[in-house]
Structure 1
Amino acid sequence: MMEKSSSNNSKENKRQSTTKSIECKTCGDTAKYSYFGVISCDACKVFFKRNAERGPKAFKCHFDGNCQININTRHVCSYCRLVKCLESGMQTEMIRSSIRKKNKTKKKRKLIMDTIQTKTSTTLVRLNQPEQFPTLNLLRSDQSTLAIDQWNLISNLSHCYDEYSGILLGEHYIREQNLLPLKLRFKSASMIEFFQILLDTSQSIYKNNQDFLSLSEYDRSILLHSTFIYTSSLSANSIHYQIGLFNCPAFYTTIELIGNPNAAAANKRIAKRMDFDMITMKLFLAIISFSTIRCTIYSNTPLENLSKIKKILDIQNKYIELLWRYLLYKYNFERSVICLSNLIRCLFAINEALAEAYDFQWYTDTIDSLVQQTQQTLNFND
């Protein structure tokens, strides 16, 4: 009896270990089983089964095959998802073999069951039926309120602003500084140069946004001059947060040397409000880039009326709705409200820091130069 009990326990442990949740090799969703040769979730299993024999050529990627496939974006680009399925090891041949094996098993089972029904009682038939396993939900729906077009727009925004180049530059800068003696780290000249590089990367917010490119040259110019100072500062500070620069005491010491104690205090307030995922930050940057509220701190252009104010407000409202729906998808209602509130507070802290930065000649000269460069590039591409 002891041996039998031990055997049952080992079988139970084995069964539990085989059903332990792991990640899908394609999208990272929760997965329990191997399909077509690879651990995958139900959604990717169904997707691969439906599309594998058609091949990637049956689809088209609008971003040259560079889409990031994860649980949130897996349904945005079928081309990149199928490519990732194949690269993870899924085998098309196993689809055909599984169908043949399934049909063969069905025929054999039907023959056995017909024989049992003619020779035994209903009770015996019930006892000889195969073991029933829990039904897998192969058609689990997307629980978000985001439409396909809105998911596509989020994907497009992700490609508009590539934060990885700035993060890589920032990580390289941190490594270089850490190799120096303590007294030589985060000096004014090197930090100003680093800030200028990060501000330069924010041009892509405007250059790659199709909604911004659809505006007239006149309206683009006004929006650039009034919003670039905010988007570039928010973008740069987001990268500061990602690379851990806000955690370096020497960073704030140098800020005081470059500017004043108030500037350092403003940066500390920004650091407290920067805990956002990059999709949220990119949506917020898009909203600000279409803001019709003129910067009252710094501007080189007179107050002029936009020629297509309704179109610009419609675009901004589109991004505001998109941000709200994304927050509801990612969090519950209460946390979404808190996140949105923190975004607004972060913008106030940015505004406060810009008021201090207005006295930095190198900063205002850099903003002037980048606005002109961005405007020239946009006009050249028209």
Structure 2
Amino acid sequence: MDKNSNIASSYPVERAKEESIQCKICGAPAEHSNYGAISCSPCKMFFRRNAITGQLKFKCDSGENCEVNVNNRHVCPACRLAKCFANGMQPELIRSSLSKKTASKEKANPTTETFTETSNILTRSEEEIQCQQFPIRNLLQPDSSPLYSVQWTVLSSLIYCYNESKLLSLARQISTESAVAQASTMLSTQLFSEVYQVAENYLRSNRNYAQLSYDDRAGFLRMAAESTTWFGLIFIWKQCQLSNCPSFVADFQNCYGQNALNLVEHVVKYMETDVVIFKLGLSLFTFCNNLLLVPSTMVVKPASMLTIFRIQNDNVEVTWKYLLFKYGLQLSVRRFLNLIKCFLSTIETMYEAQSIPVHVNAVEAVVERVELAFILDDIGCIDGTRADP
């Protein structure tokens, strides 16, 4: 009797302990109260960095009612910060905790100041990386609608950045008028020119590039222009079955050479037919920082990796969740692997294209115009004459 009553009485205590070790912001495991609320290390660091300035710079795109949990806490910083305040976090406690730590360190050992500063920098870096860790472990769980409202917004933005309508129209005309060699050649020339124009429009309207600094964009735009050009052309090639148009194939060979033709026809086998997946794949491929095709004389500064990783992760997560939403797990794995094959094959085509003067000149022109447009946008934002992208 006494034993059972002890067990019963201890249950609420154990339950309370269980609940108390969860972060009040995102539900992740937590051990301490930070700035007035029980919170995990990432949420603690997030609040410390953004408690003062975040209220002004963060804006929710979904009515300030986003769900915040361990899997999506990086999606909407505005709602995450609001939840920090709602659960009792106080900005005033940040300064007091920092001043106490500084005073105690100086009092304890003033001769290790340099070592301590170095340790603090490394600790902050580790905490920031932990805060930026990307939630992928639960993506295989069955879910009839795995995309959040914010992710649907990102999905729509990525889809509408690339407008393939004019390319499809030209390619269909080539397919129907392939018997007339002269008309087909004119259409082929227009199609090749339009491919670069569509790539330029895509890069200018893609918000991911607008978020980068000038130096970071310089390291990405050339690669992005290359990949957008070839990925878009090969998609149109597959959609309109241009391999069945001898006059177009001959025009392409005359313009880009036999080696490029062989490589393109190889990539066509792997190219995605679903236009949404193609555009999501384009967002992954064009924002890859593991490949850089630039002249040997160009100096490229290292990018801000945390920003790059965040954008890459958002794109991969949206792509994978859309695949799960539409095709289920098994088909999603197959299509994703097929995208990777397509990426690797397209890289070979891009490498070959570096020896084609007409292509290199066209890409350089695209990059120059896009860089100029972004510089003007940056100046406009500073002067207050343009809205933020």
TM-score norm. by structure 1 comes to 0.56
CA contact (8 A) 1:227 1:295 kept: no
**Paired position in structure 2 for 1:340:** 336
CA contact (8 A) 2:270 2:341 kept: yes
**Paired position in structure 1 for 2:249:** 252
Asked whether 1:210 is paired with 2:207, we answer: yes
Q: What residue identity is the alignment partner of 1:352? A: E
TM superposition shift of 1:357:
2.2
Cα distance in 2 for residues equivalent to 1:174 and 1:300? 42
CA contact (8 A) 1:266 1:352 kept: yes
**Paired position in structure 2 for 1:288:** 285
Of the three residues 174, 179, 193, the one matched with 1:196 is 193
**Paired position in structure 2 for 1:319:** 315
Q: What CA deviation, in whole Å up to 9, does each residue of 1:187-214 have, x standing for no partner?
A: 4x75344212112111232222223212
TM superposition shift of 1:332:
2.4
Of the three residues 332, 342, 351, the one matched with 1:355 is 351
Measured at CA, do residues 350 and 180 of structure 1 come closer, stay the same or move farther in structure 2, by a change above 3 Å?
closer
Cα distance in 1 for residues equivalent to 2:299 and 2:248? 35
Cα distance in 2 for residues equivalent to 1:202 and 1:302? 24
Tell me the SS of whatever aligns to 1:302.
Answer: coil
TM superposition shift of 1:248:
1.8
Q: How many correspondences in the alignment?
A: 240
Cα distance in 2 for residues equivalent to 1:379 and 1:231? 21
Cα distance in 2 for residues equivalent to 1:355 and 1:344? 17
**Paired position in structure 2 for 1:378:** 374
TM superposition shift of 1:232:
1.9
Tell me the SS of whatever aligns to 2:172.
Answer: helix
Asked whether 1:270 is paired with 2:255, we answer: no
Q: What residue identity is the alignment partner of 1:152? A: T
TM superposition shift of 1:295:
2.3
Structure 2: 5+ residue stretches without partners: 1-60, 63-142, 379-389
- Pairing 1:122-201 to 2, within 5 Å after superposition: 143-175=144-176, 179=177, 181-184=179-182, 186-187=184-185, 191-201=188-198
Of the three residues 218, 221, 231, the one matched with 2:218 is 221
Q: What residue identity is the alignment partner of 1:245? A: L
Return 249-258 or 338-347, whichever deviates more. Answer: 249-258
Measured at CA, do residues 296 and 207 of structure 1 come closer, stay the same or move farther in structure 2, by a change above 3 Å?
closer
TM superposition shift of 1:154:
0.8
TM superposition shift of 1:299:
7.0
Cα distance in 1 for residues equivalent to 2:211 and 2:373? 15
- Pairing 1:2-13 to 2, within 5 Å after superposition: none
Tell me the SS of whatever aligns to 2:232.
Answer: helix
**Paired position in structure 2 for 1:135:** none
Q: What residue identity is the alignment partner of 1:272? A: K
Cα distance in 2 for residues equivalent to 1:253 and 1:351? 23
Q: What residue identity is the alignment partner of 2:312? A: Q
CA contact (8 A) 1:160 1:208 kept: yes
Measured at CA, do residues 166 and 260 of structure 1 come closer, stay the same or move farther in structure 2, by a change above 3 Å?
closer
Q: What residue identity is the alignment partner of 1:365? A: N
Cα distance in 1 for residues equivalent to 2:323 and 2:271? 15
**Paired position in structure 2 for 1:121:** none
**Paired position in structure 2 for 1:240:** 237
Tell me the SS of whatever aligns to 2:268.
Answer: helix
RMSD of aligned residue pairs (Cα, Å) = 2.8
TM superposition shift of 1:225:
2.0
Measured at CA, do residues 171 and 224 of structure 1 come closer, stay the same or move farther in structure 2, by a change above 3 Å?
same
Identity of counterpart residues, as a percentage? Answer: 24
Q: What residue identity is the alignment partner of 1:156? A: S
**Paired position in structure 2 for 1:37:** none
Tell me the SS of whatever aligns to 1:206.
Answer: helix
**Paired position in structure 2 for 1:231:** 228
CA contact (8 A) 1:207 1:374 kept: yes
CA contact (8 A) 2:174 2:184 kept: no
Q: What CA deviation, in whole Å up to 9, does each residue of 1:252-272 have, x standing for no partner?
A: 333333344332221111211
**Paired position in structure 1 for 2:30:** none
Q: What residue identity is the alignment partner of 1:164? A: S
TM superposition shift of 1:298:
6.0
CA contact (8 A) 1:266 1:353 kept: yes
Cα distance in 1 for residues equivalent to 2:266 and 2:168? 21
Tell me the SS of whatever aligns to 1:203.
Answer: helix
TM superposition shift of 1:182:
4.6
Measured at CA, do residues 225 and 260 of structure 1 come closer, stay the same or move farther in structure 2, by a change above 3 Å?
closer
Cα distance in 1 for residues equivalent to 2:172 and 2:187? 14
Measured at CA, do residues 181 and 169 of structure 1 come closer, stay the same or move farther in structure 2, by a change above 3 Å?
closer
CA contact (8 A) 2:215 2:301 kept: no
TM-score norm. by structure 2 comes to 0.56
Cα distance in 1 for residues equivalent to 2:342 and 2:297? 24
**Paired position in structure 1 for 2:299:** 302
TM superposition shift of 1:235:
1.5
Q: What residue identity is the alignment partner of 2:326? A: K
Cα distance in 1 for residues equivalent to 2:297 and 2:227? 14
Q: What residue identity is the alignment partner of 1:161? A: Y
Measured at CA, do residues 245 and 261 of structure 1 come closer, stay the same or move farther in structure 2, by a change above 3 Å?
same
CA contact (8 A) 1:253 1:264 kept: no
CA contact (8 A) 1:199 1:236 kept: no
Q: What residue identity is the alignment partner of 2:226? A: I
